[in-house]
């Protein structure tokens, strides 16, 4: 089975009941601490929050450091939405010559490039005869702080 057909087969998430967890009313400050509040104002289902187009969404794990400047680290879980239009500056999952990559899309003046978010990696400029397929738009990154 090719990687493309494997992604196609796995791209539909399983239907699962909502998992609603407490959402506290007050944000947590990243600067100076404030008194804690135990006031829950709502509940939040991460499926609803992170996946607006269920049938077009899939997950993939990032490998490598080329997108570190965009907050994507090696091993992070990416949420990809295939129903979104890949616009200029979107972070996309692209297929070039049968190989998957995650990069920032550059579309200006008829020129298309794939840009890394790490100065150690060169941009990918499409060469004559190369085929580029944008497979989906990265909508969220799940980065674990602890194993």
Give the chain's mean pLDDT. 82
**Residue among 11, 144, 143, 6 at smallest CA distance from 80:** 11
Polymer length in residues for the chain: 147
> In this predicted structure, what is the pLDDT of residue 16?
66
- 66 labelled catalytic: yes
- What is the token pair recorded at 130? 């190369």
Give the domain CATH number at 76. Answer: 2.10.109.10
CA pair distance 45, 36, nearest whole angstrom: 23
Per-residue pLDDT tens digits for 75-118: 999 999 999 999 999 999 999 988 899 999 999 988 899 999 99
CA pair distance 16, 9, nearest whole angstrom: 18
Does residue 38 lie in a domain region?
no
Say if residues 131 and 86 touch (Cβ distance below 8 Å). Answer: no
Does residue 44 lie in a domain region?
no
Does residue 28 lie in a domain region?
no
The active-site residue out of 63, 83, 103, 111 is: 103
The active-site residue out of 66, 107, 111, 140 is: 66
Does residue 32 lie in a domain region?
no
User: Would you say the pTM of this structure is higher than 0.95?
Assistant: no
Residue with tokens 């907050």: 71
Does residue 37 lie in a domain region?
no
Residue ranges making up the domain that contains 95: 3-12+55-142
Does residue 35 lie in a domain region?
no
> In this predicted structure, what is the pLDDT of residue 43?
76
Would you say residue 10 has pLDDT above 60?
A: no
- 107 labelled catalytic: no
Count the domains in the chain: 1
**For residue 3, what are the contacts with CB-CB under 8 A and spacing of at least 6?**
98, 100
Does residue 110 lie in a domain region?
yes
Would you say residue 48 has pLDDT above 90?
A: no
């Amino acid at each position: 089975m090719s990687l493309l057909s494997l992604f196609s087969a796995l791209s539909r998430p399983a239907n699962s009941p909502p998992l609603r967890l407490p959402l506290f009313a007050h944000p947590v400050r990243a600067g100076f601490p404030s008194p804690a509040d135990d006031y829950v104002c709502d509940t939040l289902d991460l499926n609803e929050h992170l996946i607006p187009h269920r049938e077009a969404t899939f997950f993939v794990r990032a490998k490598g450091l080329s997108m570190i400047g965009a907050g994507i680290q090696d091993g992070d879980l990416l949420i990809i939405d295939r129903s979104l239009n890949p616009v200029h500056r979107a972070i996309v999952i692209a297929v070039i010559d049968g190989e998957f990559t995650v990069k920032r899309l550059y579309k200006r003046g008829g020129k298309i490039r794939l840009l890394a978010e790490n100065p150690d990696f060169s941009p990918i400029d499409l060469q004559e005869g190369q085929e580029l397929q944008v497979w989906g738009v990265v909508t969220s990154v799940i980065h674990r702080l602890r194993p």
